[in-house]
Structure 1
Amino acid sequence: MATEIKVEIIERQTIKPSTSTPHHLRSYKLSFLDQMAFVIYTPLLLFYPITSTTSNVSTRHHAMSIDERCRHLIESLAKTLTHFYPLAGRIVKGNSIVECNDDGAAFIKARISCCLSDILENPDGQILKRFLPIEIESKEAGTGWLLLVQVNLFECGGMAIGLSISHRIADASTLCTFINCWATIALGSSDSDQVLNLPEFGAASVFKPIEFSSSSQPPAREVIKEKCIIQRYVFDASKISTLQSEVASSFVAKPTRVEAVSALIWKCATEASRSNLRKQGPSFFRQDVNLRKRVVVVPPLPENLAGNVVGSFTSKADEESSVINLKDLVAKLREGIEGLKEKYAAKLVFDSDEAWQEIKDEQNKPKTRDNMEIYSCTSWCRFPFYEADFGWGRPSWASVASIAIKNIIVLMDKRDCSGIEAWVTMSEESKALFESKVELLGYAFVNPSVIDT
Structure 2
Amino acid sequence: MASSTILSRKMIKLLSPTPPSLRQHNFSFMDCINLPQYTPIAFLYPKPENYNKNQISQILENSLSKVLSSYYPFAGRIKDNNTYVDCDDTGAEYLNVKINCSMSEILNNSSNDAADVVFQQDLPWCSTLNRSPLVVQLSHFDCGGIAVSACMSHKIADGYSFAKFINDWATTAQHVDFKPSPQFNASTFFPLMDGGPNIMSINASPESQRHVSRMYNFSSSNLRRLKNSITGIQNPTRVEVATSLIHKCGATASMENLGLFKPSLMSHVINLRPLIPLDTIGNATCVYSTIAMTENEIELSNYVAQLQNIKQQVRNELKNLDMNQIVPYALGKMKGVVDMMEKDIFDIYLSTSVCNFGLYSKTDFGWGRPIKITYTKYPMKKSFILFDDPSEEGIDVLITLPEDEMLIFQKDKELLEFASPIVQSIK
Out of 418, 424, 428, the position equivalent to 2:393 is 418
* In structure 2, C-alpha distance between the alignment counterparts of 1:27 and 1:97, rounded to whole Å: 7
Q: In the alignment, what sits opposite 2:420?
A: 445
Residues 1:135 and 2:98 are matched in the alignment: no
What is the identity, as a one-letter code, of the residue corresponding to 2:28? S
* In structure 2, C-alpha distance between the alignment counterparts of 1:450 and 1:378, rounded to whole Å: 27
Displacement of 1:137 in angstroms is: 2.5
Q: In the alignment, what sits opposite 1:117?
A: 104
Q: In the alignment, what sits opposite 1:258?
A: 239
* In structure 1, C-alpha distance between the alignment counterparts of 2:338 and 2:375, rounded to whole Å: 29
Q: In the alignment, what sits opposite 1:288?
A: 269
RMSD of aligned C-alpha atoms?
2.3
* In structure 2, C-alpha distance between the alignment counterparts of 1:264 and 1:218, rounded to whole Å: 30
Contact 2:18/2:88 (<8 A) preserved? yes
Displacement of 1:438 in angstroms is: 1.3
Equivalence map 1:342-421=2 (5 Å)? 342-351=316-325, 352=327, 356=331, 367-369=342-344, 371-386=345-360, 387-421=362-396
Equivalence map 1:290-309=2 (5 Å)? 290-293=271-274, 300-309=275-284
Q: In the alignment, what sits opposite 2:41?
A: 44
* In structure 1, C-alpha distance between the alignment counterparts of 2:356 and 2:155, rounded to whole Å: 23
Contact 2:39/2:125 (<8 A) preserved? no
* In structure 1, C-alpha distance between the alignment counterparts of 2:404 and 2:197, rounded to whole Å: 35
Out of 216, 219, 231, the position equivalent to 1:236 is 219
Out of 77, 90, 93, the position equivalent to 2:64 is 77
Q: State the aligned residue count.
A: 420
CA deviation vs aligned residue, 1:109-137 (integer Å, no higher than 9, x gap): 11000122222222531121221135222
Describe the shift of the 1:280–1:136 C-alpha distance in structure 2 as closer, same or farther (beyond 3 A): same
Q: Using the TM superposition, name which of 98-107 and 360-369 deviates more.
A: 360-369
Displacement of 1:44 in angstroms is: 0.7
SS in 1 for 2:118: coil
Describe the shift of the 1:346–1:81 C-alpha distance in structure 2 as closer, same or farther (beyond 3 A): same
What is the identity, as a one-letter code, of the residue corresponding to 2:116? K
Out of 53, 60, 64, the position equivalent to 2:51 is 64
Residues 1:199 and 2:173 are matched in the alignment: no
* In structure 1, C-alpha distance between the alignment counterparts of 2:104 and 2:261, rounded to whole Å: 43
CA deviation vs aligned residue, 1:219-249 (integer Å, no higher than 9, x gap): 6837855520101111111110010111141
Out of 185, 189, 207, the position equivalent to 2:172 is 185
What is the identity, as a one-letter code, of the residue corresponding to 2:373? A
What is the identity, as a one-letter code, of the residue corresponding to 2:230? V
Q: Structure 1 length normalisation: TM-score?
A: 0.87
* In structure 1, C-alpha distance between the alignment counterparts of 2:169 and 2:68, rounded to whole Å: 9
Contact 1:269/1:434 (<8 A) preserved? yes
SS in 2 for 1:276: helix
What is the identity, as a one-letter code, of the residue corresponding to 2:271? N
CA deviation vs aligned residue, 1:123-157 (integer Å, no higher than 9, x gap): 53112122113522211x14421000011011122
Describe the shift of the 1:157–1:277 C-alpha distance in structure 2 as closer, same or farther (beyond 3 A): closer
Q: Using the TM superposition, name which of 80-89 and 128-137 deviates more.
A: 128-137
Q: Structure 2 length normalisation: TM-score?
A: 0.92
Q: In the alignment, what sits opposite 1:318?
A: 293
Out of 136, 144, 151, the position equivalent to 2:138 is 151
Q: Percent identity?
A: 30
Contact 1:81/1:87 (<8 A) preserved? yes
Residues 1:430 and 2:414 are matched in the alignment: no
Equivalence map 1:95-110=2 (5 Å)? 95-110=82-97
SS in 1 for 2:97: strand
Out of 154, 176, 182, the position equivalent to 1:167 is 154
Displacement of 1:354 in angstroms is: 6.4
SS in 2 for 1:165: strand
- For structure 2, the 5+ residue unaligned runs are none
SS in 1 for 2:63: helix
* In structure 1, C-alpha distance between the alignment counterparts of 2:279 and 2:414, rounded to whole Å: 38
Q: In the alignment, what sits opposite 2:200?
A: 221
* In structure 1, C-alpha distance between the alignment counterparts of 2:144 and 2:426, rounded to whole Å: 17
Displacement of 1:320 in angstroms is: 4.2
* In structure 2, C-alpha distance between the alignment counterparts of 1:14 and 1:276, rounded to whole Å: 48
